């Protein structure tokens, strides 16, 4: 058995694909630097991430696949599902090894799995766009915590940058402890001091704008007044609004 170790980055994964073809040896397992090797390992190759090598692999994909396929591969990577890197590796290898396109061959297990995972990530992206709720801080910043199942925050930036282009905001992934700050000109990745946030991931009350709690109270009152008790359907409600998002929604507090 041959295994490859790499730094668990997307560029590192593409570099691993380059090395595999360059060495003409293909791994049965992809490991991080700290993972324990399985039994009966014959060879372990350590991949050194190289942007030139990863760039050449990506250019090769651009020649052989449609943009939507490359987007799906990126979505699969952001899924963070266990083994997703090996799925991407096998998919890309099939792309390069076949003279005809495999993109619509859903009878192939790897092709089908890439599509299914990409669809899950896309649904999570749409949920984040729908369920983000901003809190206004004392310095005029709008802050929104979120903890999606998949690492979809980078996929939502285009929407939020266009939708809220006239205000400064931070959207923060409390599960992965990073976020993005928009300063009216550009969006940059940031990390926050954990003392800034409560255990629920919200901004501490003493950092909020003086009228924020009033607006939250008004929104709760509106939400309550618009509810028709006779038409409440808890099962359907949870289906369209997963419980894991409730702690970030003002109207659900």
pLDDT tens per residue, range 28-76: 999 998 888 888 888 999 999 999 999 999 999 999 999 999 999 999 9
Q: What is the dihedral of CA 70, 241, 178, 219, to 10 degrees?
A: 130
What is the pLDDT, as a whole number, of residue 29?
Answer: 93
What is the pLDDT, as a whole number, of residue 139?
Answer: 86
Q: What share of the chain is helix, strand, coil (3-state, %, to 5)?
A: 50, 15, 35
CA–CA separation, 175 vs 56, rounded Å? 33
Q: What percent of the chain has pLDDT over 90?
A: 67
User: What angle, rounded to 10 degrees, do the helices at 84-97 and 51-64 form?
Assistant: 60
CA–CA separation, 6 vs 63, rounded Å? 26
Chain center to CA of 232: 32
Q: What is the pLDDT of residues 94-111, one digit of tens each?
A: 999 999 999 999 999 999
Output Rg (C-alpha) for the chain, integer angstroms.
Answer: 22
What is the pLDDT, as a whole number, of residue 196?
Answer: 66
What is the pLDDT, as a whole number, of residue 195?
Answer: 67
Query: In 3D, which of 101, 47, 112 has the Cα closest to residue 76?
Result: 112
Phi, psi of 144 (to 5 degrees): -135, 115
CA–CA separation, 249 vs 253, rounded Å? 7
State yes or no: pLDDT of 202 exceeds 90. Answer: no
Greater pLDDT, 152 or 229: 152
- Domain ranges within the chain, ordered by starting residue: 2-123, 132-252
Strands (E), the chain: 2-5, 29-31, 43-46, 135-136, 142-146, 169-173, 178-182, 187-190
Average pLDDT over residues 191-199: 71
Other beta carbons within 10 Å of 30: 20
Listed in sequence order, the residues at least 6 apart from 252 whose beta carbon sits closer than 8 Å to its beta carbon are 246
- Are the CB atoms for 135 and 142 separated by under 8 Å? yes
Other beta carbons within 10 Å of 45: 15
CA–CA separation, 203 vs 193, rounded Å? 11
CA–CA separation, 73 vs 83, rounded Å? 13
**Tokens representing 68?**
């939507």
- The pTM assigned to this predicted structure is 0.88
CA–CA separation, 117 vs 249, rounded Å? 27
């Amino acid at each position: 058995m041959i295994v490859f170790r790499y730094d668990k980055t997307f560029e590192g994964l593409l570099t691993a694909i380059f090395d595999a073809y360059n060495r003409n040896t293909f791994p049965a397992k992809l490991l991080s630097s700290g993972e324990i090797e399985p039994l009966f390992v014959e060879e372990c190759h350590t991949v050194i991430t190289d942007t030139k090598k990863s760039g050449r692999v990506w250019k090769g994909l651009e020649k052989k696949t449609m943009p939507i396929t490359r987007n799906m591969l990126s979505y699969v990577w952001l899924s963070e599902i266990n083994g997703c890197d090996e799925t991407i590796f096998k998919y890309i290898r099939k792309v390069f090894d076949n003279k005809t396109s495999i993109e619509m061959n859903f009878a192939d297990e790897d092709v089908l799995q890439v599509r299914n995972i990409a669809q899950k990530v896309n649904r999570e992206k749409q949920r984040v766009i729908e369920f983000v709720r901003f809190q206004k801080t004392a310095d005029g910043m709008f802050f929104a915590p979120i903890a999606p199942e998949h690492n979809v925050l980078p996929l939502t930036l285009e929407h939020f940058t266009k939708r809220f282009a006239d205000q400064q905001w931070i959207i923060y992934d409390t599960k992965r402890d990073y976020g993005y700050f928009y300063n009216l000109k550009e969006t940059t990745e940031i990390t926050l001091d954990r003392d800034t946030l409560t255990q629920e991931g919200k901004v501490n009350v003493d950092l909020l704008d003086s009228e924020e709690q009033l607006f939250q109270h008004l929104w709760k009152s509106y939400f309550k007044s618009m509810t028709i008790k006779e038409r409440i359907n808890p099962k359907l409600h949870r289906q369209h609004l997963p419980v894991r998002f409730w702690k970030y929604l003002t109207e659900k507090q």
